[in-house]
Structure 1
Amino acid sequence: MQRRAVNPWDWSLKLGYNQAEVIEGPRRQLICAGQTAVDGQGKPQHPNDMRAQIALALDNLEAVLAGADMSLGDVIRLGVYATDVDEALKNFDLLGMRFGPLNCAPPMTLLGVTRLALPGLLFEIEATAAA
C-alpha cells in the first residue's frame, strides 16, 4: 500500500495532520480530515452563519478532493458534525445541491456536538472517497 498526503494549504501541517491522504491499493481511496468554514490560513469564517459555514466547508472539501484528482462524485461516506443539528438540517439542501446532480448519495452520519476545534465553527464535514 502507498500513501500520499494531499494538502492544498500548509496550515494544517503545523497542527500535525494532512488535509487528506490518498491510499493506493486495489482501489484508490481518499480519507479526508474534517473540513470546516476556514480560509486558506485556517482562520474561521462566517461567524454565527450556519448556511455560509456549510457552503464554505463543502468548498473546502471539494478543494481537498480536487487535490487528489477526485470530486464529490467519488465520495463514498460522509461524517457531519454540527453544534446545532436542527439549524444544520435546515440547510442540508446545500448538500443536495452539490451531490444531487452527480447522482451521488453517500452514506452519512450527522452528530450534534457541543463545540468544534476552533471557536466560532458550527459545522464540520469529513469524507471518504474512492475511485
Structure 2
Amino acid sequence: MQRTAVNPWDWSQKLGYNQAEIIEGATRQLICAGQTAVDGKGLPQHPGDMRAQISLALDNLEAVLAGADMTLRNVIRLGIYVTDVDEALKHFEVLGVRFGPFQAAPPMTLLGVDRLAIPGLLFEIEATAAM
C-alpha cells in the first residue's frame, strides 16, 4: 500500500494529521468500531482522566488492529468523539506519540459530543485501516 499526503496548507500537519491521503495498492480494509477506555469485560476505566482514557482507547484500537494483523501504520482514517474538546486537545500529543513511530498522520475528524454510549467515558476513537 502506498500513501501520498495531500496538504494544500501545512497547519494540519502541525497538529499531527494530513488533510487527505491518496491510498494506492491496498488489498484489505478493516473498519473498526469506536474504541474507548474499557477493560476486557467492557467496564469503563479511568473516570475523569482524559489522558488515561485516550491512552487506553488507543491500546484497545491497537488490539483490534493486531487481531487483523495490522498496526497503527495501517490506519488511513480516524473519527474521534470527545465530551470535552478543549481537555482532549490538551492531551492530543498522546496520539502523536503513538502514531509517530509509524510515520502515520491519518486524516481525522474530532467532534465534541454531549456524552458517549457508556456514562463516564470521555473519549472514543474509530478507525479505518488498509493494507
Return the TM-score normalized by structure 2.
Answer: 0.80
Question: What is the root-mean-square deviation of aligned Cα atoms in Å?
Answer: 0.7
CA shift, 1:115, in A, is 0.1
Counterpart of 2:127 in structure 1 is 127
CA shift, 1:27, in A, is 1.4
Residues 30-52 of structure 1, C-alpha deviations (whole Å, 9 max, x = no match): 00000000000000000000000
In the alignment, the residues of structure 2 paired with residue 101 and residue 82 of structure 1 have an alpha-carbon distance, to the nearest angstrom, of 24
**Alignment map for 1:67-86 (pairs within 5 Å):** 67-86=67-86
* Greater RCO structure (CA 8 Å; 6+ sep): 2
In the alignment, the residues of structure 1 paired with residue 118 and residue 101 of structure 2 have an alpha-carbon distance, to the nearest angstrom, of 32
CA shift, 1:117, in A, is 0.3
One-letter amino acid matched to 2:95: L
Match of 2:51, SS?
helix
In the alignment, the residues of structure 2 paired with residue 52 and residue 69 of structure 1 have an alpha-carbon distance, to the nearest angstrom, of 25
Equivalent pairs, count = 106
Q: Which consecutive residues of structure 1, in runs of 5 or more, have no partner in the other structure? A: 1-25
Q: Which consecutive residues of structure 2, in runs of 5 or more, have no partner in the other structure? A: 1-25
CA shift, 1:101, in A, is 1.3
Percent identity over the alignment is 80
CA shift, 1:124, in A, is 0.1
One-letter amino acid matched to 1:29: Q
Match of 1:128, SS?
strand
CA shift, 1:65, in A, is 0.1
One-letter amino acid matched to 1:120: G
One-letter amino acid matched to 1:54: I
One-letter amino acid matched to 1:118: I
Counterpart of 1:13 in structure 2 is none
**Alignment map for 1:26-41 (pairs within 5 Å):** 27-41=27-41
Match of 2:45, SS?
coil
Counterpart of 1:48 in structure 2 is 48
In the alignment, the residues of structure 2 paired with residue 84 and residue 99 of structure 1 have an alpha-carbon distance, to the nearest angstrom, of 22
In the alignment, the residues of structure 1 paired with residue 27 and residue 90 of structure 2 have an alpha-carbon distance, to the nearest angstrom, of 35
Match of 1:60, SS?
helix
Counterpart of 1:16 in structure 2 is none
1:111 has 2:111 as partner: yes
**Alignment map for 1:54-65 (pairs within 5 Å):** 54-65=54-65
Q: Which runs of 4+ in 1 moved over 3 A?
A: none
1:100 has 2:97 as partner: no
